[in-house]
Structure 1
Amino acid sequence: MKPLFVRWTMAVLGLVAAAPLACGQGMKAPKDDPAYLKKAALTIDQHVANWYRKQKLPVPATTDDATYLRRVFLVTIGRIPTGEEARDFLDISDPNKRQELVNYLLNSPGYGSHLTNWTFDLLRLTDQRIGGGGASMAPYRDWVRRAVDSNMPWDEFVRRLLASNGDGWDPQTASVGYYTRDRGMPLDNIANSMRIFLASRMECAQCHDNHASPDEKPERKDFYELAAFTNGQGELNQKLMQPLWSELTRQDERRGPEYSVAQVMWDRVYGMSLAGGGSGRIALPQDYQAEYHNGKPGDLVGGRTPFGKIVLMSDRRDENNGREKLADWVVSKTGPQFPSNIANRMWKRVMGKAVYEPVDTYVEAEKSNYPELMGYLQQLMVDLQFDMKAYQRVLLYTRTFQFATNPDTSIVPGGDDFHGRKIERLSSEQIWDSLITLSGGNPDLKPRRTLDDRIYVGGKPVLVGKKNMIQVSKEVLALQKESDVRAYFQKLLQDVKSDGGGGGESMMMSGIHTYNKDAQVRASELPSPAPGDHFLYLFGQSNREVVDASSREPNVGQVLSLMNGFVQRQLVNNPKAALYKTLEGATSNDEKIRRLYLAILSRPPTDQEMGWMLDEVKSSPERGYRNIVSALVMSSEFLFLQ
């Protein structure tokens, strides 16, 4: 096998050679031009340097290779490097190796895996719809994952979410899961949309005028005028099945196969579809207060955007393109707010702290602590055509990203002083992905979770290899009469009753990969969110009920888990763990200890540490190395990002 450095270089050369041309005359678009990206990184560093001069702060030192290696791996692909990756990088003396490592990581499978975790958290994406019967979010999950892996531009991603309608199982329209995930809660959905995509907090205006913020005072009517754009959400043609469903949901019918088959159609087909395009008008709620003097309970109000370029819809008739108009407004008619929001969120993801905090409360560039820098970042996002990977590449190229760790808190309220990266605890996903790297080797070599489109009846797959949910959904949603729905149901019921089973074997043959909560695969492949007894939940993974619900706060349960749970069982006391395989070929205790440090902490031990560890091995030959592994994995250095 070629040395890792050679593989990195080949990957970079392949990326450059494959970059598409634009602008005619053989010129590359900025997002595809390596020279442009390097210049953009330099411009960011110049803005930061100018701020240092104004604040009379010295320029921080650049961090050492070992700290940088661990940092860039965890930030870019969400796991620590393997022992081999660490050794290869630290042994290279090429001055361009940091940039080449960035390119290698951004084009590795781990990049999509790690960004998927971030996206799932932001969208509150779950495998099953909360309180939604048998409805599944699997097609929506798969759509988001494919969008991340293909590096779909952020503006297109948001537009396709907000303007979506149609079949929830169709791979092209499965983005409707953004709305069906919140079925029955359209007001919460629009409030979350504003917070996620525009950093605008309007949720309080659902119930009362907001006079808490001096810069943004949405009134209650503003909120309902905005909600009008997405009003009128429903299921495609579900009324055709309503009589049959009513018959089968009588108490004495719910345990039979008829009910289970009908549930496939009612919940997993109709229940996952989205009809219409947004009526554009909505009735004010019954508790709307007369003292507002701008409407009364039950009044119909048309869609109206609260800021940016004003977009209006009629209050006299229902239309069918409200969601499309909303999407267009969010992406292209809110001025710098849309690019500023995602530029700031990505800055926080890479640099550790946002340019302005909190990230879900928009601050105009000229009112931020760093007007020139924030103005440049939001324009850079536009110039890069909302290419998330290109934008992160620029940030990772900067010297600002490479500054040494600063353990002190920021001197700037509501922002960062950029004076070295602040220490932060790893997310639950980063800890998990790093642990399974130590126990099983590079987790990105394992098969990815794929869409499970099998038909489930009574919790078991049926008709495997004969028909799947994508086909059933397309056929059911095409039915136009109640009698056709009944006939289809009877045919599906008969097919299920006569099916011979064999779902597990057929799944393997069809290439479907699914994982249960006990699988040692990356967090992005596991059930979402993790159940309450899982390592990920214990270490703070979001329950996906509200935006930004993850936690990095320590607790006693985490300590007990590290001492007695997964770490001890699958890593410390597991002689087959990949970590111990790195010791093969080492001829001395010194070399074995060095390899353990490189695999766990991505650095060699200091002379003092080497002395301590040699004493441990000599005093306890049988348990010495296991004790070293246990101590290093439970150390603050392993659990924190510098």
Structure 2
Amino acid sequence: MKPRTFGFLACWLVVLPSAHAAEKPSPANDPAFIAKASRSIDANVASWYRKEKLPVPAVTDDATFLRRAFLVAIGRIPTAEEARFFLEIDEANKRVQLIDYLVQSPGYSSHMSNWVFDLLRVTDDKPGFNGSFEPYRHWVRTAMESNMRWDEFSHSLLSANGDGWDPKTAAVGYYTRDRGMPLDNLANSMRVFLGSRMECAQCHDDPFGETERHDFYELAAFTEGQGGMRQNLMRGLWDEINDGEKRRSVDYEVAQVMWDRVYGLSLGGSGEGKIKLPEDYQYRDGEPGQLIGAKTPFGKGVRISEKNDKGGGRKELADWVTTKTGEQFASVAANRMWKRVMGRGVYEPVDEYKPTKELHHPELMNTLISLMVELNYDLQAFQKVLLNTKTFQFVPNPEPSKVVTGDDFHGRQLSRLSAEQLWDSLITLAAGDPDKKPRRGLDDRIYLNRKPVLVGKKNMVQVSKEVLALESEAAVRSYFDKLLEEVKKDGGGGGGDSMMGMAKIQRYDSKSHVRASELPSPAPRNHLLYLFGQSDRIVVEGASRDPNVGQVLSLMNGYVQEQLVNNSGAHLYKSLEGAGSDEEKIRRLYITILNRPPSGEEMGWMLEEVKNSGQNGFRNIVSALVMSSEFLFLQ
């Protein structure tokens, strides 16, 4: 960025470390490459206009671009300072500079984390399980922060095995999150990474597709055998303690730490590569209970014999998904990113892959696939290219797409903010730039009955490593006895060291004014995020943007009134400091909330309100603007 224009923004800029910094420099760091790639995409879109004889949309104004770029790239509106600076400078290249600033800011990884949490159904915990997916959640968040390549990220999840608390292997949470439901996990994997909907084939041949039940079980053989590492060594001890009155004892709580939070988060083996057909199997290509080997249903064929005893199935599956499925893996990734930036996929639904040759715009999809591969699946760089296109800058289009199965590119269609975008924008108004606050850290404390113990003395990372190294039932019992003794000596509550331990951990609750990515996942049912449709993380991409009465009441009588309208300390009111007239105050409120100056007609209305209501008129203006459709929608 040029110091004379975005100098004050540059001083805030945090350049995120690259997960593959040792590799050759990415073309994403070359402005000439970005510009050329963006022009190539625009050329494909322009050819579509010529083919369909459609007029080319105009480029949107600075104010609309500013708000759109912030919400799409980092998931929040700009602060008053950011908005005023961008709108007031006269710099021909300021849009390019703004995009550079956004994609390298901490807000980018926060917004990406929300997307991945929703896609992978990442939760802090789940009903019926007394452990915590804290290390897995932290692994995913860190991967987004370090901009891990999508192929590397996907491969790490699909091939994972080992200790759930070890930062190097915490990706096993992808499987342990679905423990007991391996077939559902596999169906989700195919949907997420390859856009292949195979869930129906768990029970029967898919009448609407090409997948047969036998195909699905051959694929499931790659991931068969998902148990905790050496968990059988604790089975006897657990059965003794997990009984009747003992469940109310400290012994049970300590045993639960080992059973659920260590063994329950670990993943043993590496994928059997073979599986038995279910007892209700009803087709001629196999017998009920028959042992079959692993086999891929499309792409480059990968097989493992049912006689194989070496395992390795999960790595074979990961290799196949990321490198042996032709254009499919790259196409699905590129289309998902196109939808994130442009608002609608080149083909829809984005989780149902369509071969490029069958699309309305094959040339564009070929360009996007080639770009994804050339950028080595760097999603940050890929989105940077899209953000720099003229296509991204087209004026909003209130009309629905003319292409039923995808995007006709005729201007961005209006859409309500996601729950996360709305929350992150509201806290920006209430408390200023949320990206300056520390990120939620890994809470690796040992909990008994929801209270931390042995704080400053021992943590879950240590306990997990020690427990999973035990090689006999006797060793497990001995370790349990020692851990129980330590806890009892500690008093079961962390003692005097508890505050010291907590100071090292940045933990936020549902009321904290921090980004949605730092809050409990999913949000509690009384939280604004839940009311506005945040996914419950039960199904893939389960978020909703449907309106309901509860949303209106929540804004009218809840957060907006308490934290913005009636809160004189809200950050948005700081934008009024130094304003010399009512007109200037109104202009600043508009820029702070809607990120644009008011029209002449709007200024007249608002001056009349201030004249009639005095200083309360400014609060009424805040209420009206935040409650407006313009604030709640992305143009």
TM superposition shift of 1:587: 1.5
Equivalent residue number for residue 170 of structure 2:
174
- Kept in 2: contact 1:261–1:493 (CA 8 A): yes
User: Is 1:192 aligned to 2:188, yes or no?
Assistant: yes
Unaligned 5+ segments in structure 1 are none
Distance (whole Å) between structure 1 residues aligned to residue 74 and residue 261 of structure 2: 34
Distance (whole Å) between structure 1 residues aligned to residue 581 and residue 93 of structure 2: 33
Bigger mean CA offset, 180-189 vs 455-464: 455-464
Q: Deviations over 1:27-81 (max 9, x none)?
A: x543332211210001000000011111111111000000000000000000000
Bigger mean CA offset, 318-327 vs 170-179: 318-327
- Cα separation, partners in 2 of 1:228 and 1:100, compared to 1, 3 Å: same
User: Is 1:294 aligned to 2:285, yes or no?
Assistant: yes
Distance (whole Å) between structure 2 residues aligned to residue 591 and residue 31 of structure 1: 41
Q: Classify the secondary structure of the residue corresponding to 1:582.
A: helix
Number of aligned residue pairs: 628
- Kept in 1: contact 2:16–2:106 (CA 8 A): no
> How big is the alpha-carbon RMSD for the aligned residues of Structure 1 and Structure 2?
1.7
- Kept in 2: contact 1:81–1:602 (CA 8 A): yes
- Aligned residue among 318, 332, 344 for 1:341: 332
Bigger mean CA offset, 33-42 vs 460-469: 33-42
Equivalent residue number for residue 148 of structure 1:
144
Distance (whole Å) between structure 1 residues aligned to residue 325 and residue 402 of structure 2: 31
Give the letter for the 2:623 counterpart.
S
- Kept in 2: contact 1:12–1:100 (CA 8 A): no
Equivalent residue number for residue 109 of structure 1:
106
Equivalent residue number for residue 489 of structure 2:
498
Q: Classify the secondary structure of the residue corresponding to 1:205.
A: helix
- Aligned residue among 419, 437, 454 for 1:446: 437
Equivalent residue number for residue 641 of structure 1:
634
- Kept in 2: contact 1:227–1:282 (CA 8 A): yes
Equivalent residue number for residue 6 of structure 1:
7
- Aligned residue among 22, 34, 46 for 1:49: 46
User: Is 1:631 aligned to 2:624, yes or no?
Assistant: yes
- Kept in 1: contact 2:226–2:269 (CA 8 A): yes
- Kept in 2: contact 1:8–1:100 (CA 8 A): no
Equivalent residue number for residue 540 of structure 1:
533
Equivalent residue number for residue 311 of structure 2:
320
Aligned pairs for 1:452-491 within 5 A: 452-491=443-482
- Kept in 1: contact 2:125–2:133 (CA 8 A): yes
Distance (whole Å) between structure 2 residues aligned to residue 263 and residue 250 of structure 1: 12
Q: Classify the secondary structure of the residue corresponding to 1:243.
A: helix
Equivalent residue number for residue 607 of structure 2:
614
Equivalent residue number for residue 222 of structure 2:
229
Give the letter for the 2:319 counterpart.
D
Distance (whole Å) between structure 2 residues aligned to residue 31 and residue 220 of structure 1: 43
Unaligned 5+ segments in structure 2 are none
Q: Percent identity?
A: 63
- Kept in 2: contact 1:130–1:181 (CA 8 A): no
Distance (whole Å) between structure 1 residues aligned to residue 462 and residue 21 of structure 2: 36
- Aligned residue among 589, 592, 596 for 1:596: 589
Distance (whole Å) between structure 2 residues aligned to residue 37 and residue 225 of structure 1: 42
Bigger mean CA offset, 33-42 vs 561-570: 33-42
User: Is 1:95 aligned to 2:89, yes or no?
Assistant: no
TM superposition shift of 1:296: 1.6
Equivalent residue number for residue 401 of structure 1:
392
Equivalent residue number for residue 372 of structure 2:
381
- Kept in 2: contact 1:593–1:610 (CA 8 A): yes
Aligned pairs for 1:211-230 within 5 A: 211-213=207-209, 217-230=210-223
Q: Classify the secondary structure of the residue corresponding to 2:447.
A: strand
User: Is 1:35 aligned to 2:28, yes or no?
Assistant: no
- Aligned residue among 550, 556, 568 for 1:575: 568
Equivalent residue number for residue 362 of structure 2:
371
Distance (whole Å) between structure 2 residues aligned to residue 602 and residue 238 of structure 1: 56
Q: Deviations over 1:166-211 (max 9, x none)?
A: 0000000000000000000000000000000000000001111112
Equivalent residue number for residue 204 of structure 2:
208
Q: Classify the secondary structure of the residue corresponding to 2:275.
A: strand
Bigger mean CA offset, 309-318 vs 116-125: 309-318
- Aligned residue among 561, 564, 571 for 2:557: 564
Distance (whole Å) between structure 2 residues aligned to residue 14 and residue 515 of structure 1: 24
Equivalent residue number for residue 138 of structure 1:
134
Give the letter for the 2:342 counterpart.
M
Distance (whole Å) between structure 1 residues aligned to residue 564 and residue 128 of structure 2: 37
Q: Classify the secondary structure of the residue corresponding to 2:269.
A: coil
Bigger mean CA offset, 29-38 vs 603-612: 29-38
Q: Classify the secondary structure of the residue corresponding to 1:254.
A: helix
- Kept in 1: contact 2:118–2:541 (CA 8 A): yes
Q: Deviations over 1:338-361 (max 9, x none)?
A: 000000000000000000000010
TM superposition shift of 1:499: 1.0
Give the letter for the 1:276 counterpart.
G
TM superposition shift of 1:15: 9.7
Give the letter for the 1:203 counterpart.
E
Equivalent residue number for residue 419 of structure 2:
428
TM superposition shift of 1:416: 1.1
Distance (whole Å) between structure 2 residues aligned to residue 638 and residue 521 of structure 1: 20
TM superposition shift of 1:441: 0.5
Distance (whole Å) between structure 2 residues aligned to residue 42 and residue 173 of structure 1: 40
Q: Deviations over 1:554-610 (max 9, x none)?
A: 100000001001111111110100011111111211011011000000000000000
Distance (whole Å) between structure 2 residues aligned to residue 272 and residue 281 of structure 1: 23
TM superposition shift of 1:425: 0.5
TM superposition shift of 1:320: 1.3
Distance (whole Å) between structure 2 residues aligned to residue 475 and residue 607 of structure 1: 70
Distance (whole Å) between structure 2 residues aligned to residue 63 and residue 475 of structure 1: 59
- Kept in 2: contact 1:9–1:100 (CA 8 A): no
Equivalent residue number for residue 578 of structure 2:
585
Distance (whole Å) between structure 2 residues aligned to residue 497 and residue 270 of structure 1: 22
- Kept in 2: contact 1:287–1:297 (CA 8 A): yes
- Cα separation, partners in 2 of 1:305 and 1:536, compared to 1, 3 Å: same
Give the letter for the 2:412 counterpart.
R
TM superposition shift of 1:508: 3.9
Equivalent residue number for residue 183 of structure 1:
179
TM superposition shift of 1:490: 0.8
- Aligned residue among 270, 276, 279 for 2:263: 270
Q: Classify the secondary structure of the residue corresponding to 2:303.
A: coil
- Cα separation, partners in 2 of 1:143 and 1:629, compared to 1, 3 Å: same
Distance (whole Å) between structure 2 residues aligned to residue 11 and residue 448 of structure 1: 16
Equivalent residue number for residue 520 of structure 2:
527
- Cα separation, partners in 2 of 1:128 and 1:22, compared to 1, 3 Å: closer
Distance (whole Å) between structure 2 residues aligned to residue 13 and residue 578 of structure 1: 23
Q: Classify the secondary structure of the residue corresponding to 1:298.
A: coil
Equivalent residue number for residue 122 of structure 2:
125
- Kept in 2: contact 1:79–1:433 (CA 8 A): yes
Q: Classify the secondary structure of the residue corresponding to 2:351.
A: coil
TM superposition shift of 1:22: 6.7
Q: Classify the secondary structure of the residue corresponding to 2:551.
A: helix
Q: Classify the secondary structure of the residue corresponding to 1:303.
A: strand
Give the letter for the 1:127 counterpart.
D
